[in-house]
């Protein structure tokens, strides 16, 4: 496994609109993308940028995640954590298929096949029980990234 940059931290929320106000007014975020639906995954998401080193535009993002009607996984998370909370961490890798093979060779449970994620590149998740309790998203680095 070739560890890449921490692309984003996923935060489940019952209301992206309320979370945007929090990140803007409490945390001072100035770069907040327009929320959009990922119908395949049953969620609405919104990315909040944090600055990179020296104010560069390559900082780690916060991915706000709100369930769409019919969603079960995020809705279930919010049942246990009604105010929302940290849901997953996402690391970049240069080659998604190589990363999947490596995790599987180490006995880690990859959840499903690689699929297009919120950044338009392939992603997969690894079971938190195999990852020290952290639901882990692995994402192929966008080609024209930053």
Residues that bind Co ion (CB under 5 A): 10, 63, 90, 137
Compute and round to an integer the Cα radius of gyration of the chain.
15
Closer of 10 and 67 to Co ion (Cβ)? 10
In whole angstroms, how close is the CB of 8 to Co ion at the nearest point? 6
Residue 40 main-chain phi, psi, to 5 deg: -60, -35
Residue nearest to Co ion (CB): 10
Options 34, 137, 140, 144, the catalytic residue: 137
To the query of whether residue 144 is one of the catalytic residues in this protein, the response is no
Closer of 39 and 105 to Co ion (Cβ)? 39
In whole angstroms, how close is the CB of 116 to Co ion at the nearest point? 12
Token code pair at residue 142: 């966008």
- H helices of 58-119, in order, are 73-80, 96-105
Within 10 Å of residue 17's Cβ, how many Cβ atoms? 11
Closer of 97 and 115 to Co ion (Cβ)? 115
In whole angstroms, how close is the CB of 12 to Co ion at the nearest point? 11
Distances (CA, A) of 40 to 63, 75, 96: 17, 15, 19
Q: Which residues are catalytic?
A: 137
């Amino acid at each position: 496994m070739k560890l890449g940059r921490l692309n984003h931290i996923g935060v489940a929320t019952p209301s992206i609109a309320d979370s945007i106000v929090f990140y803007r007014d409490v945390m001072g975020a100035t770069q907040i993308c327009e929320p959009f639906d990922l119908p395949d995954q049953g969620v609405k998401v919104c990315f909040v940028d944090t600055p990179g080193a020296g104010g560069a535009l390559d900082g780690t993002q916060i991915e706000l995640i709100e369930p769409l009607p019919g969603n079960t996984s995020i809705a279930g998370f919010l049942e246990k954590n009604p105010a929302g909370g940290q849901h997953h961490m996402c690391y970049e890798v240069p080659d998604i298929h190589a990363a999947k093979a490596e995790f599987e060779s180490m006995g880690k449970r990859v959840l499903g096949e690689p699929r297009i994620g919120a950044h338009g590149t392939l992603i997969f998740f690894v079971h938190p029980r195999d990852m020290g309790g952290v639901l882990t998203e692995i994402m192929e680095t966008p080609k024209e990234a930053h």
